[in-house]
Amino acid sequence: MADRRNRGDSSPSGEHDRQGVFRRAGDPDKPDAFEKLYRPRESEQKVLGETRRLPPAEEVPPRTRRERRTHYSGREYDGSGRRTRARRTRQKLARTTGRTALIVLCVFLAAVVALPTWFYLWSNSRLARVEAITDHEGRPDRQPGTVYMIVGSDSRDGLDEEEMRELATGYAEGRRTDTIMLLYVPDGDGEPTIVSVPRDSYVELAVPGWGQNKINAAYADAVCGTGDEGDEVCGGPAPLVETFERASGVRVDHYVEIGMGGFVGIVDAIGGVELCPEEPMEDPKAGLDIEAGCQTMDGGTALGYVRTRNSPRADLDRIARQREFFSALVRSAGEPSTLYNPFKSVPLVLAGTDTFTVDEGDKLRHLGTLLLAMRGGTQTTAIPVGSTPTLDGVGSVVVWDEVRSEEMFAAMREGEPIPESAFQE
């Protein structure tokens, strides 16, 4: 701010109130020492090259609106955002499709794992169970190999009057055995063997008070006695298994039973079985009338084929036919065309689990093991027969061949293949 006391004073002390107050004394055309400090050097004031001149306005082309271009894709944008929205929509659709596909895949994998497990558990629960294998006094210890007892019952349970008339089963009440067989699987590489147990085998029964009698009497529910503790003991699966174990010394591991109705249902479920009778057979009592030669039999015809006694050796011939049928049934059930065909395998499982009766400790997997054990082929035989006498109060019975039957049972107790010398036609 100017000093008012010196306003209008021309002395040097008032020069700071006029323009150029900071110029120093000396030649005004030459820079003084202060200006030299801040004035650029001559070399810095030189212009390198030609001076860049702007073109005249009339020569400048009019500016046009340029569309933006991305450096990575080369795609052009018009600035409206339409392409961005479309890209984001496609990305959202792709994410949604991916998530949906992942969910569908997870559900499918869960079904692949869960559905067979559920079907197995459900089918296993359909099996009827009975106390067939018990730890009775004197029971054989665990042995190598595996023994299934397979019982064909003449029970009419599950059949109505029309079906019993069609199948010629009769109207008998109660429960008896039509078939007793063993499936023996040796320990190791031995071939499985189906062994028929003649139902007239003369042995000591496990039913109290009955002594020696036909083995099938041990299964009949009409055969009863009084136990040591005063309770009533009647024939059934447990006395039958115990009777065989005591007579042979062979331990039974699994028990499978099937009635007439289940028999027919299983055969029909797999589309019949091929059997080859050597001669024509006719038996009105069994509802059977067939020609000789190989033929596919349905459930009703097959039932008559294994039940008839109308042949020269009666029950012994029937035993041979039962082994033939059982081998054919298991072979057909184990074929890939059955196992991998849901239109056959599912009805087979349903028919089997609806009619099979097994021991309380048996599961559906044990039936599967039985089936798989026989897929590679089986040998068939029977307990060797020594004689067939007729006894008072008992009738015609089958007495086992002492030497050969013991040879068979000894091999089974050791888990070894049954020797050919012990085979019975």
> Structural domain boundaries of the chain?
80-125, 134-422
243-269 residue pLDDT tens: 999 999 999 999 988 876 667 778 888
pLDDT for 8 beyond 60: no
- The CA distances from residue 140 to 238, 295, 393, 396, in Å, are 15, 43, 31, 30
Please tell me which of 42-46, 84-88, 159-163, 351-355 the model is most confident about, judged by mean pLDDT: 84-88
Within its chain, how far is the Cα of 152 from the centroid? Answer: 28
Q: Give the residue-averaged pLDDT of 274-295.
A: 85
pTM metric for this prediction? 0.66
- CB 124 within 8 Å of CB 363: yes
pLDDT at 213 over 90: yes
* Architecture of domain 134-422 in this structure: 3-Layer(aba) Sandwich (3.40)
Residue 40 pLDDT class (50, 70, 90 cuts): low
33 pLDDT tier (thresholds 50, 70, 90): low
Is residue 364 within 8 Å of residue 353, measured between CB atoms? yes
**Residue 139 confidence class, pLDDT cut points 50, 70, 90:** very high
Closest CA to 234 of 213, 218, 246, 214: 218
* Least confident segment among 155-169, 221-235, 382-396: 155-169
Judge contact between 411 and 422, C-beta under 8 A.
Answer: yes
Alpha-carbon Rg for the chain, nearest whole angstrom, is: 51
Partners of residue 224 on adjacent β-strands: 234
User: What is the reported pLDDT for 168?
Assistant: 47
- 404 — pLDDT class (breaks 50, 70, 90): very high
Greatest mean pLDDT among 3-12, 101-110, 149-158, 251-260 lies in 251-260
- Cα–Cα distance for residue pair 208/228, rounded to 1 Å: 8
The answer on pLDDT for 182 being more than 80 is: yes
Question: pLDDT value at position 27?
Answer: 61
**Most confident stretch, 8-12, 308-312, 363-367, 397-401:** 397-401
Percent of the chain with pLDDT over 70: 72
Strands 193-196 and 379-382, sheet pairing:
parallel
What are residue 192's phi and psi, to 5 degrees?
-60, 150
Residues 287-319: b if buried by 16+ CB within 10 A, e if exposed: bbebeeeeeebebbbbbbbbbbeebeeeebebb
Assess whether pLDDT exceeds 60 at residue 3.
no
pLDDT band, residue 283 (cuts 50/70/90): confident
Place 215 in a pLDDT band, splitting at 50, 70 and 90. very high
